[in-house]
């Protein structure tokens, strides 16, 4: 659950994860920020994921934090604590992330059923939709253009108020 990922098991691993992040950041010529892809239903993505985001925020306060957060299904739940995990995670994301791209698990399944005509979508199918979304959101960063050439300008153009930084992506 969220508490285990954030306070116990995640806390044991966070230093080694931050060492890897630090090494990757040192290899960058111009570090704009970080992109984190995680789920908010389980303990690892919600608890350890938000712990990682808060630690990165402490270590790199002037860098942008963009998350792609997969929200759990509201009607079907694998575990009874999924709503609590998501709620506790959202609080952390409000405080520590600059831009949050909300990926609704139910909508992903709906696209697989209705648009792609898949009877039993696999995790690979869902991950393909998420990667297409990530590619669409970040294309302005990867290709030259007039608008949003970096993470900060993307945030300036999207966010009306600092705490209103949750975006629903569409297909």
Q: Tell me which DSSP letter residue 61 carries.
A: T
pLDDT tens digits, one per residue of 138-150: 998 889 888 888 8
Least confident of 19-23, 103-107, 124-128: 103-107
Q: What is the pLDDT of residues 82-125, one digit of tens each?
A: 999 999 999 999 999 999 999 999 899 999 999 999 999 999 99
What is the 3 state secondary structure string of 63-88?
Answer: CEEEEEEEECCCCCCCCCCHHHHHHH
Banded pLDDT at 74 (limits 50, 70, 90): confident
Q: For position 73, what pLDDT does the model report?
A: 83
104: β partners? 71
Of 60, 137, 50, nearest to 95 (Cα)?
A: 50
- Tell me if 35 sits within 8 A of 131, measured CB to CB: no
pLDDT of residue 91: 94
- The residue segments making up the domain with residue 117 are 2-168
Q: How many domains does the chain have?
A: 1
Q: What are phi and psi of 70, to 5 degrees?
A: -90, 115
**Cα 131 to Cα 124, 126, 128, 152, distances in angstroms:** 10, 9, 5, 21
Write the CATH number for 81.
Answer: 3.40.50.1440
């Amino acid at each position: 659950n969220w508490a285990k990922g954030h306070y116990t098991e995640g806390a044991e691993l966070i230093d080694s994860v931050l060492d890897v992040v630090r090494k990757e950041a040192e290899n960058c010529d111009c570090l704009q920020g970080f992109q984190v892809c995680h789920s908010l239903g389980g303990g690892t993505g919600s608890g350890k994921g938000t712990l990682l985001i808060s630690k990165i925020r402490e270590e790199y306060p002037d860098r942008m934090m963009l998350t792609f957060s997969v929200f759990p299904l509201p009607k079907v739940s694998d575990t009874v604590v999924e709503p609590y995990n998501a709620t506790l995670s959202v609080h952390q994301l409000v405080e520590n992330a600059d831009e949050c791209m909300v990926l609704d698990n139910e909508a992903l399944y709906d696209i697989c059923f209705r648009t792609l005509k898949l009877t039993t979508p696999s995790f690979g199918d869902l991950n393909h939709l998420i990667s297409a979304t990530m590619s669409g959101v970040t294309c302005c960063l990867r290709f030259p253009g007039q608008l949003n050439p970096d993470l900060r300008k993307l945030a300036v153009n999207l966010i009306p108020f600092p705490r209103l930084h949750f975006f629903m992506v569409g297909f």
